[in-house]
Structure 1
């Protein structure tokens, strides 16, 4: 196990441009550097708009090494996995193997799923099923999730353990539902692990094989994988870290390699900023789904998150006079990914981050604020959309 102390962290490094000269987008490079200065270890960004394609990075890919993060390096993309999973589910709907409004239990009778929960509810987070990584209720009550959820030294010590998706689902179903199916909205990783099991049940294949068939191979996504239990990432990749206290000392551990089965299809995939841009742009352009199912996917309903509605595996973010963007971001044990595209496909922004995670998710605010600054710079900088 490789360990480093936080005194080795380089929080400010020189930034550099990517596919086009840095002087082309100095405003973006400045934001990237600010994000690194806020505590993020490294970040890469890719923007495609009327000015062409630009890519840049800031920070470092590895603590103690001054080298910048690779522009198109691999990263664990967290909850962006849900968008990929939703696309596979909807393709199976198109193929007649799944019905959107059929009970999930119809496909998985061996699980004690409320018969009122439909496939659509899983994809839209309206099932009410307990989130196996833990729940925070409106009154402040916290119900802990599975022990595998990153929460300190215990997780670090057990990060190579395999958790079968069936175990995650049965754990969640043993807990009281958050609300009656279809009556509310609450983000739950469990929904997408159940979706994974349905995919595998109706196809008789692995979710990884279905990802390759439906998405990776048609789009040529060579840097994207669904690892399931595999612990490593292809090179190049930034390094992720986890920080905890032991015997009064703060310890930071490199957790880039770990078994992502603890999150399963709630967030286990690996990709690059270029592949994410290709995927989301192709999806919106209609290359992956029939028009009627793409419309279903983008038909968003309100959520408790300000300015955010949710479709089937995607958020629709309201930018006011600048319209909307289709998006999904994700964070996963020291890695994160950004994914945004306008509904007309003309402007897209994707990115990857590596950072030092901890039980309190102390960098979550820096991540959210940095992402919003980038959205403002890329999607709100132009002329407002005529109403």
Structure 2
């Protein structure tokens, strides 16, 4: 059933845009209510039909509903934006996928002459993940660093102070946020602009992603948004405000469910890259892998493959996936409660949205 306007449902708000039939509001809402989190919001697309909903609360201690148009930190979905910029530069002949790191950034990483741009993008470089060098909850240093500005250079240095996780670049897959910090620096060297400026110029503005921002050092989430939390002293503290340079090119983007669906529709629909480079993006870095050049995929319960990415930004987690023909899409954002990992319940909602 297609319903125009706002549909009030249990602990949520949902709306439909007329088009091809989707799962009923009740079915999708039940799936969203089942997501293990403080709050959750989602947008599901099926052809021309759109369902938007939210569940839970926007702020602990209140009954305020999560805004369906709310903004959130999308974490590693940033990597897909960064990879798209790199591949556009490849299409323009300004970067080659087989360029070495040393070609662009001499001396920045050990063995840089044998690590390629492609291997950075698909996480087969072997570079140690700088994230594993950082203090995390419940460390007092983690909370003390909340408003600290990090630079890519110092984070890369923290990473390369550790040996690589394997010796031969390209031989294995090992997810490392360091790869994208290095990629961000290569973008700066190739263009004279930061990765954020290139994302804004090439993707955010042309696609009209009005709820998407590259925050730089700004600690705020502007506009409507749910509050996010991290564990502390056996409970949770509000961590909505924090310095996103902690994530850098690997995960600092702020967006909305609507904008992420719009971005992935443009990307997978061939509007942002030539076909050969979109195919390269979908090619795994290792045999039987599920991660290409900034893009991941998995098969749903009904066997339909979806492409996209997910992201963890401490107080927020986001998931955005679409079928290859972009007929069906689902983007979900949650504020985790740290008692239960939301991945399994979000996977169930993705299956519900994709499988009929």
TM-score by length of 1: 0.84
Superposed, 1:170-249 pairs within 5 Å as 170-179=157-166, 180-245=168-233
2-structure distance, mates of 1:277, 1:32: 17
Is 1:32 aligned to residue 6 of structure 2? no
Q: What residue in structure 2 maps to residue 123 of structure 1? A: 121
Asked if the contact 1:303–1:310 (Cα under 8 Å) also holds between the matched residues in 2, the reply is no
Deviation at 1:338, TM superposition (A): 1.1
Q: What residue in structure 2 maps to residue 292 of structure 1? A: 276
Is 1:79 aligned to residue 79 of structure 2? no
1-structure distance, mates of 2:220, 2:109: 34
Runs ≥4 residues deviating over 6 A: none
User: Secondary structure at the residue paired with 2:317?
Assistant: strand
2-structure distance, mates of 1:264, 1:183: 26
Deviation at 1:150, TM superposition (A): 4.8
User: Secondary structure at the residue paired with 1:295?
Assistant: helix
1-structure distance, mates of 2:25, 2:345: 16
Q: What residue in structure 1 maps to residue 42 of structure 2? A: 45
2-structure distance, mates of 1:266, 1:230: 16
Q: What residue in structure 2 maps to residue 16 of structure 1? A: 12
Number of residue pairs aligned between Structure 1 and Structure 2? 342
Is 1:279 aligned to residue 285 of structure 2? no
Is 1:163 aligned to residue 150 of structure 2? yes
2-structure distance, mates of 1:184, 1:377: 33
Q: Which consecutive unaligned segments of at least 5 residues does structure 1 have?
A: 1-12, 135-144, 383-387
Q: What residue in structure 2 maps to residue 8 of structure 1? A: none
Q: What residue in structure 2 maps to residue 314 of structure 1? A: 295
User: Secondary structure at the residue paired with 1:111?
Assistant: coil
TM-score by length of 2: 0.91
2-structure distance, mates of 1:194, 1:334: 25
2-structure distance, mates of 1:108, 1:20: 49
Deviation at 1:332, TM superposition (A): 0.9
User: Secondary structure at the residue paired with 1:90?
Assistant: helix
- Taking a change above 3 Å as real, the CA distance of residues 49 and 302 of structure 1, as seen in their structure-2 partners, is farther
Deviation at 1:15, TM superposition (A): 2.3
Is 1:324 aligned to residue 305 of structure 2? yes
Match of residue 333, structure 1, among 301, 311, 314 = 314
User: Secondary structure at the residue paired with 2:264?
Assistant: helix
Asked if the contact 1:104–1:113 (Cα under 8 Å) also holds between the matched residues in 2, the reply is no
1-structure distance, mates of 2:59, 2:122: 36
Q: What residue in structure 1 maps to residue 344 of structure 2? A: 369
User: Secondary structure at the residue paired with 1:229?
Assistant: coil
- Taking a change above 3 Å as real, the CA distance of residues 289 and 373 of structure 1, as seen in their structure-2 partners, is same
2-structure distance, mates of 1:32, 1:151: 29
Deviation at 1:302, TM superposition (A): 4.9
Deviations 1:124-148 (A, max 9, x none): 00001001112xxxxxxxxxx123x
Root mean square deviation of aligned Cα: 2.0
Asked if the contact 1:44–1:351 (Cα under 8 Å) also holds between the matched residues in 2, the reply is yes
